[in-house]
């Protein structure tokens, strides 16, 4: 018999696929994957603000070596107020400008002590630290009132 007309078995001609159909499984797995991707918490980048903890027993620095600024944070009528060096309380948004003015040419000679009241939001305390960080004031700390 000629090779062109050689009889072929049906199994040899067709790719006989055995086993379960994997396509629906892939669909289900994809849905599960998308679910876990969506539910995974995405953590943003973080960084740090250094806050000194003044020791109550430590002697205060000699005047002239550093300029000490006290920022008192208080709460009134649902708003946070900031008082710098016992001045009348004002808008905390004015604190960076005042610190910048006090820092002048040498922010390293400035010491900022933050004294918040208990009901002041923690975020406002962080804002003062952020302002000091922006101005290059390294010596900033939190003290109890």
Partner 1 sequence: MRRRSLHHAHAPHLNVTPLIDVVMCLIVFYLIVGRLALTRQARIDLPATAAGQVVDTAGALIVDVAAAAPGAAPSFTLAGQPVTAEVLASTLRARHDADPNTQVHVRADRSLPYSAVAPVLDACRDAGLSSVRLVTERTR
Q: Which DSSP symbol is given to 67? A: E
Q: Work out which of 3, 18, 53, 77 binds partner 1, going by CB under 8 A.
A: 53
Asked if 140 contacts 128 with a C-beta cutoff of 8 angstroms, the reply is yes
3-state SS, residue 127: helix
Which of 89, 133, 47, 63 is CA-nearest to residue 141? Answer: 133
67 phi, psi to nearest 5 deg: -105, 120
Per CB under 8 A, the segment of 25-33, 63-71, 83-91, 97-105 that binds partner 1 is 25-33
Q: Which two tokens stand for residue 98?
A: 């005042």
Q: Work out which of 17, 63, 65, 105 binds partner 1, going by CB under 8 A.
A: 17
**Can residue 93 be called a binding residue for partner 1 (CB under 8 A)?**
no
The least CB distance from residue 83 to partner 1, in Å, is 15
Asked if 75 contacts 123 with a C-beta cutoff of 8 angstroms, the reply is no
CA dihedral over 28, 34, 39, 41, signed as positive or negative? positive
Per CB under 8 A, the segment of 4-12, 64-72, 81-89, 98-106 that binds partner 1 is 4-12
Which is closer to partner 1, CB of 50 or CB of 87? 50
Asked if 82 contacts 94 with a C-beta cutoff of 8 angstroms, the reply is yes
Per CB under 8 A, the segment of 60-68, 86-94, 99-107, 128-136 that binds partner 1 is 128-136
Binding site for partner 1 (CB under 8 A): 4-5, 8, 13-15, 17, 22-23, 25-26, 29-30, 32-33, 36-37, 39-41, 43-53, 55, 73, 116-127, 129-130, 133-134, 141-142, 144
């Amino acid at each position: 018999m000629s090779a062109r007309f050689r009889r072929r078995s049906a199994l040899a001609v067709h790719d006989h696929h055995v086993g379960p159909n994997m396509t629906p499984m892939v669909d289900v797995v994809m849905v599960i994957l998308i679910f876990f991707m969506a539910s995974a918490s995405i953590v943003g980048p973080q960084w740090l603000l250094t806050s000194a903890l003044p020791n109550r027993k430590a002697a205060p620095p000699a005047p002239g070596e550093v300029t000490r600024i006290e920022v008192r944070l208080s709460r009134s009528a649902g708003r946070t107020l900031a008082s710098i060096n016992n001045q009348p309380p004002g808008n905390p948004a004015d604190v960076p400008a005042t610190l910048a003015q006090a820092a002048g040419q040498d922010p390293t000679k400035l010491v900022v002590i933050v004294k918040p009241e208990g009901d002041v939001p923690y975020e406002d305390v962080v804002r003062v630290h952020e302002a000091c960080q922006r101005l290059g004031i390294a010596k900033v700390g939190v003290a109890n009132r």
